[in-house]
Amino acid sequence: MILVTGGAGYIGCILVPLLAEKGYSVRVFDKLFFGDGGLKNLGKRCEIVQGDLRDFDPQILDGVSAVIHLAGLSNDPTAEYNPTANHEMNTVATDVLARRCKERGIKRFSFATTCSIYDLGFAAEDFMRTEESEVEPRAAYATSNYEAERILLKLADDNFHPVLLRQGTVFGWSPRMRYDLVVNTMMKDALMKGALRVDCGGEMWRPLVDIEDVARAHIVCIEAPAEKIKGRIFNIVQKNYRILELAHHVKRALADLGVTDVTINVDYSHFNTRSYRVDGTLIRRELGFEPKIDVQTSVRNMLTQIRENKQMDFMNPRYYNIQWMSLLDEMEGVLKSIGGVFTL
């Protein structure tokens, strides 16, 4: 059985069905901030356990042979909204989970970390970051993931085989959709506003990867020979794109499906942003993993799925991590005060 923490989230709702299709039994452990609707069609192929990693019951690991760890706060705004919770969820809980796995003899452990660890700001020297590059993460989200990485690498030995996947900015459709990721945001703005806004002249770089390729990378790592993945870091990147180039890819892909009245507005006045390029060749060379899905293919698939699944309510706060979680936080305080909405 494979345990997927955060398996009801954006990436998990793509990864878990892929695991089930390959014949794996899957147990999902998730806080369910966004519900479990993205996994509703899996039935008995997926066991869902609701819980918080900060209060982890080791019995969740019963019968588990490998862990894919996706859980935690997953972007800068949510990390900065509550830095304490971010550290507890992303760093401390990862430490506890990994140690419990090691105690149980669960060797396989694939960790979803982030390429934002490499970010040094727009004014930093422009060079291709590799897994060997020195890093100095600054933001709370990147720092919490980097601290978790250090913990996992120290735990690695013949009895515990963590592999760390530094994921580029993810894009693509998921049943648990997000519109707060750069490609997805561009597509949403094109459909809602008929225009894409590009800051900094569109000169900044971002490493990007489709959501299905991310899911496949985790599966490749839990299936690879131990000597190839134990204590290793791999960047997961389809390609590095300049943001202005990216906007044109999105515009062209939408035009293929009949969305033709889209303009690109370039602003040259703001330069306080992220910009970094990341080399993704190591996992290609070591494990033979090759990302398959480019931006235009993914955007066309996104629009098709959005239309078929009627996800056109683009401003629904559920599609934006910080909006939804801050709303839940506010409602938690209200409910403590007033009690049930329709019950005494």
In a domain, 227, yes or no: yes
In a domain, 333, yes or no: no
Residues 6+ apart with CB under 8 A from 5: 28, 29, 30, 53, 67, 68, 69, 70, 71, 97
In a domain, 54, yes or no: yes
pLDDT of 79: 86
In a domain, 301, yes or no: yes
Q: How many structural domains does the chain have? A: 1
Read off the pLDDT of residues 25-54 as tens digits, 9 standing for 90 and up.
Answer: 999 999 999 999 889 888 778 999 999 999
In a domain, 12, yes or no: yes
Pairwise CA distance, residues 256 & 295, whole Å: 13
Read off the pLDDT of residues 240-281 as tens digits, 9 standing for 90 and up.
Answer: 999 999 999 999 999 999 999 999 999 887 666 788 999 999
Whether 39 and 13 have beta carbons less than 8 Å apart is answered as yes
Whether 267 and 203 have beta carbons less than 8 Å apart is answered as no
Q: For position 35, which CATH number holds?
A: 3.40.50.720
Pairwise CA distance, residues 93 & 148, whole Å: 9
Q: Which of 98, 50, 68 is nearest to 1 (CA)?
A: 68
Residues 6+ apart with CB under 8 A from 286: 228, 232, 234
Weakest mean pLDDT among 96-105, 232-241, 260-269 = 260-269
Read off the pLDDT of residues 187-209 as tens digits, 9 standing for 90 and up.
Answer: 999 999 999 999 888 889 999 99
pLDDT of 10: 97
List the domain range (segments joined by +) for residue 226: 2-323
Whether 260 and 211 have beta carbons less than 8 Å apart is answered as no
pLDDT reading at 125 higher than 80: no
What 8-state DSSP symbol labels residue 181?
Answer: S
In a domain, 274, yes or no: yes
Q: Which of 329, 39, 9 is nearest to 181 (CA)?
A: 9
In a domain, 83, yes or no: yes
Q: What is the pTM of this model?
A: 0.95
In a domain, 334, yes or no: no
pLDDT of 272: 65
Return the percentage of the chain with pLDDT > 70, whole number. Answer: 98
Q: Which residue has the higher pLDDT, 45 or 66?
A: 66
